[in-house]
A = this chain, B = another copy of it.
Amino acid sequence: MINYPIKRKAQVKTTSYANLGMTLESDIEATNLFYLNHGVAVIHKKPTPVQVVNVSYPARNKAKITEAYYKTPSTTDFNGVYQGKYIDFDAKETNSATSMPLKNVHPHQIDHLRGVVKHGGIAFLIVHFKKFNQYFFLPAEVLFSYWDSQDDEEKGRKSIPYSAFLDKAYLIPFGFQPRLDYLKVIKDHY
């Protein structure tokens, strides 16, 4: 009997660096995990809401959903606690080099963010300008001012110009750990 050497699959070494910058959402989730593991904050992404229509039970204790549909979320995607403060935000990406279209934000998200601000929470958007690979922390109050004036015939516009991000938003440094240190903006400016 001959012992053939076992062929091993080439082990591709995947570090978290490998996925670096893959998607905005995964970058934020990696950041949140860093915050959690380092005792900085407890911030999570909410699960995507799903309307379940049919469930079957092919095996014990393992319900299989066989028909379901995505629902529109009624809030933002991320929330949590940092230094006793309630934190609430959503993430947006744009391919534009000149502005972020306001249609990227749903009206119910605006309502939700207004409620958060009204009750003393910290509300914002993380906006990724893909063309420049820049990430901005846009305070909800700046978002509201553009949202509320978009139907104004004289000064209204359907987007927030890139220049407003340079003026009124905060650049989030992109790093290794944490990848997107958005809490630094809160630490420095709130």
**Which B residues touch A152, using CB under 8 A?**
none
Q: Are A65's CB and B69's CB within 8 A? A: yes
Identify the interface centre among A47, A63, A70, A87: most chain B CB within 10 Å of its CB.
A47
Residues of A60-118 whose CB lies within 8 A of B:
62-71, 73-75, 79-88, 112, 115-116, 118
Q: Are A75's CB and B44's CB within 8 A? A: yes
What is the distance, in angstroms, from A141's C-beta to the closest C-beta of chain B? Answer: 16
A88→B86 CA distance, assembly (Å): 10
A70→B64 CA distance, assembly (Å): 8
Chain A: residues with CB nearer than 8 A to chain B? 36, 39, 41-42, 44, 46-50, 52, 62-71, 73-75, 79-88, 112, 115-116, 118-121
